[in-house]
């Protein structure tokens, strides 16, 4: 009797063990897979700051002074080769001209144009992973562009200021390379084409577009 109970007990234990292994096996196997996927995604999480030579054509008949184009970005990894890139940029121009009329005299005009693009793009690393120190990439995206114009006039009989704001559509596409000095810090260089189109004139222009050469710094977020 004791032997029979022992056999039954051993059989039940073995059956329970096999059932538990069958149920928990896939879950346990998924843990390292999920961890690998999460690690691949996090390896593309980062930020950067770049300065660009992007300068659209200047309006004729004015004295124009342009700023450089700046933009900062955050990247959110999708896998080892893809990441979302959210950028916030700035570019500005100041245009000046004068008008002289009899009796009234000379009126000086100043027009400040400010563009703030907010582009969401897809960044693609076709040939490398985050373990590489040299990483070429492609990027393309669209998003809104905030346009602000401040017009000032000063002279013998007038001194006023008006501000107008518009929202346009921005498009950006380019290529570059990240050069990582360490796994955390690096520099970036490349070029891009960018446009900003508006429904109404911004300084007599509805479309601002140009190619630009970019240079800046890159940073990878660290997770523990």
Q: Would you list the domain boundaries of the chain?
A: 43-220
| β-sheet bridge partners, residue 16 | none
Instruction: Please answer whether residues 62 and 93 qualify as being in contact, where contact means their C-beta atoms are separated by less than 8 angstroms.
Output: no
At CA 140, angle to CA 139 and CA 146, rounded to 5?
120
137-172 pLDDT, tens digit each: 999 999 999 999 998 887 766 667 889 999 999 999
Q: Give the Cα separation of 15 and 5 in Å (integer).
A: 15
Domain boundaries 43-220, corresponding CATH code: 2.40.160.20
Single out the residue of 142, 143, 122, 118 nearest to residue 44, CA to CA. Answer: 122
Q: Give the Cα separation of 113 and 96 in Å (integer).
A: 11
Report DSSP state, residue 59.
Answer: P
| pLDDT reported for residue 40 | 67
The three-state secondary structure class of 171 is strand
Residues listed for the chain:
224
Instruction: Please answer whether residues 197 and 172 qualify as being in contact, where contact means their C-beta atoms are separated by less than 8 angstroms.
Output: no
pLDDT(5) > 60: no
Q: What's the mean pLDDT in 105-132?
A: 91
pLDDT(19) > 60: no
pLDDT(17) > 50: no
pLDDT(31) > 50: no
pLDDT(26) > 80: no
What is the separation, in whole angstroms, between the first and last Cα of the chain? 57
Q: Give the Cα separation of 153 and 151 in Å (integer).
A: 7
Indicate the pTM of the whole model.
0.78
Q: Give the Cα separation of 169 and 207 in Å (integer).
A: 10
């Amino acid at each position: 009797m004791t032997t029979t109970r022992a056999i039954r007990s051993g059989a039940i234990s073995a059956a329970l063990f096999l059932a538990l292994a069958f149920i928990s096996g896939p879950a346990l196997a998924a843990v390292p897979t999920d961890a690998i996927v999460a690690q691949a995604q996090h390896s593309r999480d980062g930020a950067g700051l770049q300065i660009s030579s992007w300068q659209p054509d200047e309006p004729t008949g004015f004295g124009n002074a342009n700023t450089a184009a700046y933009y900062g970005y955050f990247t959110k990894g999708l896998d080892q080769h893809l990441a979302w890139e959210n950028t916030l940029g700035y570019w500005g121009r100041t245009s000046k001209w004068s008008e002289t009329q009899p009796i009234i005299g000379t009126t000086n005009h100043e027009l400040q144009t400010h563009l703030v693009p907010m582009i969401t793009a897809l960044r693609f690393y076709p040939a490398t992973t985050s373990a590489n120190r040299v990483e070429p990439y492609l990027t393309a995206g669209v998003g809104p562009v905030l346009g602000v114009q401040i017009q000032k006039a000063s002279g013998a009989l007038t001194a006023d200021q008006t501000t107008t704001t518009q929202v346009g559509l921005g498009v950006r596409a380019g290529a570059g390379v990240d050069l990582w000095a360490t796994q955390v810090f690096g520099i970036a260089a490349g070029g891009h084409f960018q446009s900003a189109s508006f429904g109404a004139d911004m300084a007599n222009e509805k479309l601002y577009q140009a190619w630009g050469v970019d240079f800046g710094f890159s940073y990878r977020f660290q997770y523990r």
